[in-house]
Chains A and B, each alone.
Chain A
């Protein structure tokens, strides 16, 4: 059956995949050259004494330190503590952000009640709240988790809310014509329709979560990656600092990959269209 509308996208897609194949083989190797050169120069500068270890430890030193930290159990424990903070803060923030977005998105009264205060709070600089948080929650786990939660809540709230409001009005009419109940309309039309935008919010909020955690852990932490880095600074251990930074980066990349996996699963209806 001829498909004038849909088929237009297919040749374009095919062209894009074709151009991607050579990128996989040759260009990827080309793109590896400059990072490798940087690492080699960094190592040579360290070995030759041009780059003192108090400023920046060499790659080999960083690697051996990392291995040592893993062996001593310092690094796994620090990661566990930081991950726990991130997880608790993220969960609290996500529940609050998505929950408030549902309240505001699904009813006008809810929107009028929830949206104005949230827009007010959104204007406050997240990290400017740290002094207040310390006064309110002390210097234990609470201010750190609270900072992560707050940072997570806003991107998720904003994106989920706009996702709900952005659901195609023509599909809302379909729901009415098909005589869907309010609950059915929300579960079959509104929430799945908002999901793509919510996932964008999820990726943003995970980025904020790690950032908030790193900042929060710089202040008065007695465990976790931030504590490990702060401790290392006292002893000019740049190798440990670099290990901590790399671990932060890897954790950020891993959670981002997780969301992208989730996206592929949840939005497969769109994927199948693109990859046809």
Chain B
């Protein structure tokens, strides 16, 4: 079925020719154990400059662990990890510093000639300019996540790591923020690694969808469809069942 579609299904662990010469992240033979449990077992991954990669996996598959390694938050991992340029992170919970107003949160630790001006520009970009003086605890979930995105993007990262940042948002807010992310990505072109458990989200946003299973990249699909993509596009429908199958979810009616 997949053969007649421009969606290429590549077996795992092969080297993918990248669009740009130098990747922003290279991971080779990464392993990470917690006690007896080996969560990551020989992960190989490359993220090209400006490439949007989504990482799917059943819960407990080590998706977030891999992201934390790339973010430099996990010193216990073994293997080769190289991140070119800076990496920035937007976490699942926005993790704004509650005692700093929104603008100060975005400007926090920013090494720029005029951090406040740069932070304000970033806030305007995510549509939060009016809330620059608000306290984080007064923001809605979507607003806080926008502020978190602004705080990550204002650092002009080569690699933007998104750790399920949309999972706690309601469906309507999620649609808006998906558009915002694509918009920001088109303008700034960071390499993105989006960790998510939402198959549709991965397919609507990413150039490449990876499935992490058994501690390694078990599956990879490249999606060439132009954006905005639609859930009911035949390629998306086909890919959805492939990915769900890979994630161990049996399609309806066949169980």
Residues of A within 8 A of B (CB): 1-7, 170-171, 173-180, 184, 188-189, 192-193, 195, 267-270, 272-273, 276
The 5 A-B residue pairs with the shortest CB-CB distance in the complex, in nearest-first order? A3-B140, A273-B137, A178-B109, A180-B109, A192-B99
> When the two chains form their complex, are residues A273 and B135 in contact, meaning their CB atoms are under 8 A apart?
yes
B38 CB–A CB distance under 8 Å:
no
List of B residues within 8 angstroms of A7 by Cβ: 140
State how many angstroms separate the Cβ of B94 from the closest Cβ of chain A. Answer: 10
The one of B71, B93, B151, B170 that contacts A4, using a Cβ cutoff of 8 Å: B170
> When the two chains form their complex, are residues B137 and A270 in contact, meaning their CB atoms are under 8 A apart?
yes
- CB within 8 Å of A: which B86-144 residues: 86-89, 91, 93, 95, 97-101, 108-109, 135-143
Q: A1-B142, A173-B95, A192-B100 are in contact. List 13 more A-B contacts (CB 8 A).
A: A1-B173, A2-B140, A2-B142, A2-B170, A3-B140, A5-B140, A177-B72, A179-B86, A179-B109, A188-B109, A267-B99, A270-B98, A273-B137
> When the two chains form their complex, are residues B170 and A173 in contact, meaning their CB atoms are under 8 A apart?
no
List of B residues within 8 angstroms of A178 by Cβ: 108-109, 151, 155
Tell me whether chain A's interface is mostly helix, strand or loop, or mixed: helix
Residues of B within 8 A of A (CB): 71-73, 86-89, 91, 93, 95, 97-101, 108-109, 135-143, 151, 155, 168, 170, 172-173
List of A residues within 8 angstroms of B95 by Cβ: 170-171, 173-174
> When the two chains form their complex, are residues A269 and B98 in contact, meaning their CB atoms are under 8 A apart?
yes
The chain B residue sitting closest to A7, CB to CB, is B140
A-B residue pairs in contact (CB < 8 Å), sample of 15: A1-B140, A3-B142, A5-B140, A5-B168, A6-B140, A170-B91, A177-B71, A177-B88, A180-B108, A188-B100, A188-B108, A188-B109, A268-B135, A272-B138, A273-B137
Tell me whether chain B's interface is mostly helix, strand or loop, or mixed: loop
List of A residues within 8 angstroms of B151 by Cβ: 178
A273 to B139, CA, bound (A): 9
A1 to B143, CA, bound (A): 8
A192 to B170, CA, bound (A): 31
> When the two chains form their complex, are residues A173 and B108 in contact, meaning their CB atoms are under 8 A apart?
no
List of B residues within 8 angstroms of A193 by Cβ: 99
> When the two chains form their complex, are residues A2 and B172 in contact, meaning their CB atoms are under 8 A apart?
yes
> When the two chains form their complex, are residues B137 and A272 in contact, meaning their CB atoms are under 8 A apart?
yes
> When the two chains form their complex, are residues A173 and B97 in contact, meaning their CB atoms are under 8 A apart?
no
> When the two chains form their complex, are residues B141 and A6 in contact, meaning their CB atoms are under 8 A apart?
yes
List of A residues within 8 angstroms of B73 by Cβ: 173, 176-177
The chain B residue sitting closest to A176, CB to CB, is B73
The chain A residue sitting closest to B151, CB to CB, is A178
List of B residues within 8 angstroms of A195 by Cβ: 99
State how many angstroms separate the Cβ of A77 from the closest Cβ of chain B. Answer: 43
The chain A residue sitting closest to B136, CB to CB, is A269
A188 to B115, CA, bound (A): 15
The one of A6, A174, A267 that contacts B139, using a Cβ cutoff of 8 Å: A6
List of B residues within 8 angstroms of A6 by Cβ: 137-141
List of B residues within 8 angstroms of A188 by Cβ: 97, 100, 108-109
